[in-house]
């Protein structure tokens, strides 16, 4: 079973992803505000006024990207003790990935010059998060593959189906 993520790192990735989404949204709203200012002279003044905020956002995104790049352990410790935590994190990450997929699909070259630098960073963040989520998904899917073709009528009770609707208070005993 090959994967590139550990459970402890996922909460950081979820946080980082959320920061990336919020930063891009903030950048876009700031730019929209500037564009709404009207005349070119006033636009210039508005850009000068918002530039420090935009720079802070850019630095924040840069930090997020670096943090995410650092969180790449070589193997995934998936065992009975952390299975539940793994599943919960995977759920969180799946929800976040759904938010990030449109961002990962952004064509950076078509963005306006000011937005381009944020878009570039945000796309990086989105791709890293989605990649991590897919690695976890791969590890879980591997559990459902039968070792050999099953006789007629038999089927694997998949881990996804088993997780759905599972009451939370119970801890796994095996």
Partner 1 sequence: MFDRIYAYRKADKQRGVTGETVHLFVFRTTKRRCIIFEAHEFSTCPLMVVKFFDKAHKLSDKRFSLLNGSNEAGSIIRTALEIMLELYKSNPFLSFAFMGAPDEDGDLRETRRFRIYREMLKRLFSDLDFQHIQQKEKSLYVLLNRNYCGTQPERQNDIFSTLANHYPEAKPE
Task: Determine, following the binding rule CB under 8 A, whether residue 90 of this chain makes contact with partner 1.
Answer: no
**Segment interacting with partner 1, rule: CB under 8 A, options 24-32, 105-113, 114-122, 160-168:** 160-168
Task: Determine, following the binding rule CB under 8 A, whether residue 167 of this chain makes contact with partner 1.
Answer: yes
Q: Please, which of residues 94-153 interact with partner 1 by CB under 8 A?
A: 143-144, 146-148, 150-153
- Residues in CB range of 110: below 8 A, 6 or more apart: none
Among 22, 70, 101, 166, binds partner 1 (CB under 8 A): 166
Q: Which is nearer to partner 1, 84 or 116 (CB)?
A: 84
Tell me how crowded residue 111 is: count the other CB atoms within 10 A of its CB: 18
Contact by Cβ (8 Å): 136, 159: no
Among 74, 79, 105, 107, binds partner 1 (CB under 8 A): 79
Contact by Cβ (8 Å): 58, 19: no
Task: Determine, following the binding rule CB under 8 A, whether residue 159 of this chain makes contact with partner 1.
Answer: yes
The DSSP-derived string for 79-126 is -TTTHHHHHHHHHHHHHHHHHHHHHHT--GGGS-HHHHHHHHHHHHHH
Q: What is the DSSP letter of 164?
A: T
Task: Determine, following the binding rule CB under 8 A, whether residue 84 of this chain makes contact with partner 1.
Answer: yes
By the criterion CB under 8 A, which residues form the site for partner 1? Answer: 78-80, 83-84, 143-144, 146-148, 150-157, 159, 162, 166-167, 170, 172-174
């Amino acid at each position: 079973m090959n994967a590139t993520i550990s459970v402890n790192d996922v909460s950081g990735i979820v946080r980082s992803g959320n920061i990336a989404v919020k930063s891009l949204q903030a950048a876009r709203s700031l730019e929209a505000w500037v564009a709404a200012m009207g005349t070119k002279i006033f636009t210039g003044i508005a850009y000068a006024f918002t530039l420090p905020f935009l720079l802070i956002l850019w630095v924040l995104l840069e930090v997020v990207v670096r943090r995410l790049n650092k969180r790449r352990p070589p193997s995934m410790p998936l065992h009975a003790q952390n299975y539940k935590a793994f599943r919960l994190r995977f759920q969180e990450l799946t929800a976040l990935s759904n938010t990030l997929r449109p961002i990962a699909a952004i064509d950076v070259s078509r963005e306006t010059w000011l937005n381009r630098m944020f878009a570039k960073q945000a796309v990086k963040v989105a791709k890293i998060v989605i990649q991590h989520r897919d690695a976890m998904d791969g590890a879980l899917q591997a559990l459902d593959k039968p070792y050999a073709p099953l006789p007629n009528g038999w089927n694997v009770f998949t881990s996804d189906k088993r997780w759905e609707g599972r009451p939370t208070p119970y801890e796994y005993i095996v």
